[in-house]
Amino acid sequence: MRIGFTYRFNNLWKEHCTPLMERHREHEFVTDRETTLKEIETFHVLVGGIEPKGVYEAAHSVQAVFVPFVGVDHLPAQLFLERGVRVFNSHGNARFVAERTLALLLCCTGRVLEYHEDLSRGVWHGWAGKGIFDTWDSIVGCTVTLLGAGAIAQWIARYLKLFDCRVVCYRKSVKATEGFDGVYYDLREALKVADIVISTLPLTEETRGLLGREELSWMQGKILVNVGRGEVIEEEALYHALKEGILKAACIDTWYSYPAGDEKVHFPSRFPFQDLPNVVLSPHVGGFTPKATVENIKVTVENLEAYLEGRPVPNEVDLRRMY
């Protein structure tokens, strides 16, 4: 079997892949990206991420693709379904995305950015400012609804328990769900019950635009956090819900527009979210830390070895549902 890496094979990949390659000398591993792309039609397995659709169209012999992160909405699902290509992803960064989620939420409720900017100009808040009418908010005891119940949502729920939050989740499929205080299958009920709503949903045909103008109108006075995918929430509806004060605030890590090539300045939306005082912006880095990278590589290597040895691979993607 010929296995090619389209991901840059740096020292971290080398460290974790070398033992695997030594144990499986019966297979050919090509770790040079340029060689893999040049000979793409000869590979049976690909390890990589975001590539132009043409790359996968030319990969006629590919039977499996291993993605070293969670999101797979960039892959040509229909093509893979037609060819019988299996896809495996990695949830190694889940706890780190959860950590970032809590950081963004606490930054928002704690008015961290506002207080920092003001005190840097000598302006005080709290007891030294306007007293009890000028405080920050605590999330202790809040009800939090998680949209999605996957690995990231489970880690977020775990962390929120430290704040004595009641944590429930919204999901469409009816199956056992651990780690939550309740499960909702009706979106309106799930949103209505919450003080804080956190979306961890992947982008699929079912989730695209899940929260639009009507759904956001059910969230009067609530805080919304998005660490899933931007387009799960309608862009214009979200902007106006924040501008008009329907939503109390939002923390956004996943967006609608991303820089291309060598762009140095690129705003994340066609609407000026950056001008709103009730938004904490983050540049889609929830799982982008050195520790998360190592974990994603480790999980990907474990997935690959299980596949090569004919064992069940725990992280297979359902290409019809795209997660």
- Looking at the chain, the whole-number percentage of residues with pLDDT higher than 90 is 92
Q: Residue 25 contacts by C-beta under 8 Å, 6 or more apart in sequence?
A: none
Q: Are residues 181 and 271 in the same domain?
A: yes
Q: What is the CATH number of the domain that holds 150?
A: 3.40.50.720
**SS3 of residue 5 by DSSP:** strand
- d(CA 228, CA 244) in angstroms, rounded, equals 24
How wide is the angle at C-alpha 51 spanned by C-alphas 48 and 56, nearest 5°? Answer: 90
Give kind and range of the element (H or E) at residue 171.
none
Name the average pLDDT for the chain.
96
> Which pair of structure tokens corresponds to residue 237?
């509806």
**Do 299 and 153 belong together in one domain?**
no
Q: Which two tokens stand for residue 46?
A: 């690909």
Task: Return the bridge partners of 168, or none.
Answer: 145, 182
Q: Which domain holds residue 38?
A: 2-92+290-308
pLDDT digit string, tens, across residues 123-175: 999 999 888 889 999 999 999 999 999 999 999 999 999 999 999 999 988 77
Distance from C-alpha of 323 to C-alpha of 302, rounded to nearest angstrom: 19
The reply to whether 10 and 102 lie within a common domain is: no
**Quick one: tokens of 36?**
């893999």
pTM of the entire structure? Answer: 0.93
Same domain, 106 and 253: yes
pLDDT band for position 262 (50/70/90)? confident
Cβ atoms of 169 and 153 closer than 8 Å: yes
pLDDT 10s digits, 164-201: 999 999 998 877 678 999 999 999 999 999 999 999 99
Q: Specify if 314 maps to a domain.
A: no
Specify the pLDDT at position 176.
65
